[in-house]
Structure 1
Amino acid sequence: MAQTRRKDTRQRIQDVALELFLERGYDQTSLREIAERLEVTKAALYYHFRTKEDIVTSLVEDIGRPVEELIAWGQAQPATLETRREVLRRLNEALETGAPVFRFLQENQAALRGRGAPNAFRDRMRALGALLADPDATVLEQVRALSALFTVYFGTFALDAMEGAREEKRAALLQVAWEQIDAAHNTGA
């Protein structure tokens, strides 16, 4: 029971911090303001997170976990078109779940520069790219496969600027990505 309460408190802190980071920006948000919004003392906040950086690290780890799990799943599957399509579908789903954190990271790049997240991001993108493109594929096939990945990933940032229902826009991203992965797979056929 105490473990669940700690986890719920940790999640509440992350949610409120993310809300403030999105409203005010990372640099303009203090631990005191996070504690005040939560209606807890700074000491209670420190029990879970000593710094704002610790909160950001936890947010990045939390959104990275489903991608890491997806990579592990994909590596255990046969390298088929169906697997590649499923990797893109699952990635699209994971990105939707983590969209607020991705938006925060995108909007606060300057404040977050120099932290470990870019290396983890790069490594994940390479691993996902390896799942989508055959190592012996032509350059054109590799570009198409990576374009499918970038459509889903970077398209996430463009959704807010587009008109329409969020579900419809996510479905459109996935459809375009599938068309690209299908084209990459069928080029050599």
Structure 2
Amino acid sequence: MARGDSATGRRDGRSTDTAARVHQVALELFVSQGFAQTTMQQIADRLSLTKSALYYHHPTKADLVRSVVQPAVDEVDEFLAASVTAELRTREVLERFFDLNYRHRLVFLALLRDPSGLAEIEAADWVPRLAHGFQQLLAGPEPTDWQRICAVMAANGLSRAATLLTDVPLPRLRELSVQAALALLAQPEPTAPPA
């Protein structure tokens, strides 16, 4: 049997358990300290690994940040692309987007606290692209300014609720977040501009 086939599940011999632990510890530090302030040495120390052992798994800090952040960003992009073609009801779009954000809440919390993680994956324009995608998805191809604003606020608010309000029981948080987003999207445009 080749090295690593049975115990680790990987042909290259690297332990999937170690890789998962590296991601978990790195993410905890990214959330608490930010991407820029977290060093590879701090991650290695927290894992009781040598720095060279950590570099075996991730040759650079940028590689580690990418491996933590990229899957969440890719899943959001895939969700948006699939939702546009699937012609889902608005409620279903919001429920699925909530679930996605809740599943990746620590990654999004780290990005909320320190957006420099997006630069590591060369996605500095991701947030504006995300906002545009939700405008199209929730407000249609030719939305009014009001509809655009409501769509961005609904998607962003839903994301923040899933990311930040984790003290609320999940079923309640999900339902109330989706209801709030739907209520916002249903608001009629004000007839007179504010003074």
How far does the alpha carbon of each residue in 1:73-112 deviate from its partner, in whole angstroms, 9 at most, with x for none? 112223x6x1x22221111111111111111122224x65
Kindly indicate which of the two structures has a greater share of residues assigned to helix. Answer: 1
Q: Structure 2 counterpart of 1:76, which letter?
A: T
The residue number in structure 2 matching 1:71 is 80
Q: Give the % identical residues.
A: 30
Unaligned runs of 5+ in 2: 1-8, 189-195
Q: Which residue of 2 aligns with 1:2?
A: 10
Which is further off, 91-100 or 42-51?
Answer: 42-51
- Deviation of 1:126 after TM superposition, in Å, equals 1.7
Q: CA RMSD in A?
A: 2.8
* 1:183/1:19 CA distance change after superposition, 3 Å: same
Indicate the residue corresponding to 1:187 in structure 2: none
1:132, CA displacement in angstroms? 1.2
Q: Which runs of 5+ in 1 are unaligned?
A: 185-189
Assess if the C-alpha contact under 8 Å between 1:129 and 1:149 holds in 2. Answer: no
Q: How many residues align?
A: 178
Note closer, same or farther for the CA distance 1:173–1:13 as it changes in structure 2 (3 Å cut): same
Q: Which of these two proteins has the greater Rg computed from alpha carbons? A: 2
Superposed counterparts of 1:12-23, under 5 Å:
12-23=21-32
Counterpart contact for 1:145–1:181, Cα < 8 Å: yes
Q: Does the Cα contact within 8 Å between 1:95 and 1:156 map onto a contact in 2?
A: yes
Question: Corresponding residue for 1:87?
Answer: 93
**Does residue 148 in structure 1 map to residue 157 in structure 2?**
no
Partner secondary structure for residue 124 of structure 2 = helix
Q: Which runs of 4+ in 1 moved over 6 A?
A: none
For residue 181 of structure 1, give the secondary structure of its aligned residue in structure 2.
helix
TM-score, reference length from structure 1: 0.77
Maintained 8 Å contact 2:65/2:117: no
The CA deviation string for residues 13-59 of structure 1, in whole angstroms up to 9 with x for no partner, is 11111112333444443212212222323222112212222222222
| Structure 2 residue 137 is matched with structure 1 residue 128 | no
**How big is the shift at 1:167?**
4.1
Greater Cα offset, 12-21 or 120-129 = 120-129
Structure 2 length-normalised TM: 0.75
1:182 CA displacement:
4.2
Distance 1:8 1:182, change over 3 A: farther
